[in-house]
Chain A
Amino acid sequence: MGWLAILIPLVVFVVLGFVATLLFGWLIPALGGDLHSWYAALLKAAFILLGFVMPLAGVLTWMERRQSAMMQDRLGPNRANVGPVRAFGLMHFVADALKMLFKEDFVPANANKLLFALGPVMAIAPVLITFAVVPWGSGVCAGHLTDRLTDGQLAQCLDTGGGRFQVVHLEIGLLFYFAIASLAVYGATLAGWASYNKWSLLGGLRASSQMMSYEVTMGLAILGAFLVYGSLEPATIVQAQGDSILHWGVVTQPLGFVLFFTAAIAETKRTPFDIPEGESEVIGYFVEYSGMRFGMFYLAEFMEVIFTSAIVATVFFGGWQIPGLHADGFVAGQMPHWLVCTLQFVAWAVKVFVLCWFQLMIRWTMPRFRPDQLMRLGWKQLLPASLANILITAGVVLALMPGAK
């Protein structure tokens, strides 16, 4: 039975990868569409968000409960069914969504109506936007799906054809990510303030102090990777990790990986960094929210988990790269283009999935930090460590750089 937990996601990812390859490599060009156009970008966004992120976020809400149950020797929710189809209770997230949609949407009497409504939107929108820069595959060369392309041909085709598996190819990609992701703090703070409730206000303040503190570490921790790969563009960073597993960020930047991952988990506001929410004791910033507005906070949290996984996979685990897999297979001329494309998407999806699983693992293992411990960890331990990481990395890069004496 347990093997299904590996097999089913794998099959789904293969199907998704194949669909993406067909959609952007054949269907859109065949219909006369232009892959450089705005509607192609929109389609890519729709594909990755509606096809991968949203369903996975939904499944994660169920997976979190099942997984935590397994870790604690329980069974977890395994009952929700459609007729006789029970599927291990997988339908629980659908039931959850329905429940939230039909619950009363309560607005406290003295709340600021506009900001109260804006809170969940501000929490969820930045996460959705940041997915624009994540590359989920090298991309397709339209019209050459059955050909055996070399690395060079593919690179040229991607530069001109616009078939990249990435919504926007931004030179400042990761900076864009930091810029947008830091907006998420407004969601929490606004929600806390607009609720007209002292406890939610305090929760919002805790959220903003925590998120701002850890953003610093997060930005500095990833600087090491910038130095190593010489680019801010996620697709380029992934490209640079292709040759072997030794080029992966986790090998070249082990400290950077630990620091970034820690800070990113803190950004998602989940245990052990869940002081802003404190589900059971300290009451969080969304205490006044109910129904689907609460559901949006909830969903945003899980999408942040996915996004954290996606960025960590991109920068530290080679993104869509499978070590040794070139544009024409493991040996020259072995695989057609569509197969490689699909495999790369599957590699990316598997990495994201495993990292999500790992984050859930951490979330259900660690106890919560105290606020003072949290601040001490952020400012006195992670920050100096990330600064040291930059210095060392810069020194090594300088020493190894051709032309440096």
Chain B
Amino acid sequence: MAIGVKVVARPRDLGQQAYVPALVKGLGVTMRHFFDNLFGGGKHIVTIQYPEERAVYPKRYRGLHRLMVREDGSVRCVACMCCPTVCPAHCITILAEQTGNPNEKRPRVFEIDELRCVVCGLCVEACPCDAIRMDTGIWSSPVALRGDAVQGKADLMKRGALSTAVQGGAGGDWRDKQR
């Protein structure tokens, strides 16, 4: 199939050809903005002066990760490996260890490489015990060395807070409770 060519007519009227009226009109627009901004106290200016002023992020903005804690201050994560499994960037590393409780594990190592993270939020979705969250609102901070971008368990728990979700859901006997 041949590619069609659409010939666009050149402007033939004098106003467009003379260039000057359009120039004056354009100058009018730019000058209006210039004087409005200069003498009107920066009326239209949209710049946010970053370190002093900050944009307000939406509530559900996905910021730096954090690990939530239980009442006794220990980590809520049970090292179920849901989040490293779902993570599309493979940036979560968990090494599990035993706890005294035969029903639960806990992470000995919990690392997230924030440089590889694509901030998809799937880890939060996957977590069965509200252990990992991205609701800090913190923009990943710049680092000098790549290694510094890896957030360890301690870093993640520093930002953690008490989660009021019931650990382990309704419990193993929830079916019985239904009756």
User: Residues on A close to B: CB < 8 A?
Assistant: 1-3, 5, 67, 69-75, 258, 361-362, 364-366, 377
| Most B CB within 10 A of own CB, among A67, A72, A377 | A72
Chain A to chain B: the 5 pairs with minimum beta-carbon distance, closest first: A2-B39, A2-B38, A75-B47, A73-B44, A70-B37
Further 10 A-B residue pairs, CB within 8 A, beyond A2-B41, A70-B37, A70-B38: A2-B38, A2-B39, A70-B45, A73-B37, A73-B46, A361-B27, A361-B31, A361-B34, A365-B26, A366-B23
A314, chain B: closest CB distance, angstroms: 23
Contact A366 B38 (CB under 8 A): no
B residues less than 8 Å from A377 (CB atoms): 19
Contact A74 B39 (CB under 8 A): no
Bin chain B's interface residue count. Answer: 20 to 34
A253, chain B: closest CB distance, angstroms: 17
Q: What is the interface of chain B mostly: helix, strand, loop, or mixed?
A: helix
Contact B42 A72 (CB under 8 A): no
B42, chain A: closest CB distance, angstroms: 7
A375, chain B: closest CB distance, angstroms: 15
A residues less than 8 Å from B46 (CB atoms): 73-74
Provide a sorted-by-A list of 6 A–B residue pairs whose CB atoms are within 8 angstroms: A2-B38, A2-B40, A70-B34, A71-B33, A365-B23, A366-B23
B33, chain A: closest CB distance, angstroms: 5
Q: How far, in whole Å, are A377 and B44 apart by their CA atoms in the complex?
A: 35
B residues less than 8 Å from A362 (CB atoms): 23, 27
Closest A residue to B41 by beta carbon equals A1
Q: How far, in whole Å, are A74 and B42 apart by their CA atoms in the complex?
A: 9
With A2-B39, A361-B30, A361-B34: A74-B23 Cβ-Cβ less than 8 Å: no
A residues less than 8 Å from B19 (CB atoms): 377
Question: Which of these, B33, B38, B49, contacts A72 with CB under 8 Å?
Answer: B33
Over the window 9-35 of chain B, the binary record of Cβ atoms lying under 8 Å from chain A Cβ atoms (1 yes, 0 no) is 000000000011001001101110110
B114, chain A: closest CB distance, angstroms: 28
Question: Which of these, A2, A5, A67, A73, contacts B45 with CB under 8 Å?
Answer: A73
B residues less than 8 Å from A67 (CB atoms): 34
A326, chain B: closest CB distance, angstroms: 34
Closest A residue to B27 by beta carbon equals A365
B residues less than 8 Å from A69 (CB atoms): 47
Q: How far, in whole Å, are A362 and B27 apart by their CA atoms in the complex?
A: 7
B85, chain A: closest CB distance, angstroms: 45
Closest B residue to A73 by beta carbon equals B44
B residues less than 8 Å from A365 (CB atoms): 23, 26-27, 29-30
Q: How far, in whole Å, are A11 and B161 apart by their CA atoms in the complex?
A: 59
Closest A residue to B37 by beta carbon equals A70
A residues less than 8 Å from B49 (CB atoms): 75
A378, chain B: closest CB distance, angstroms: 13
B45, chain A: closest CB distance, angstroms: 5
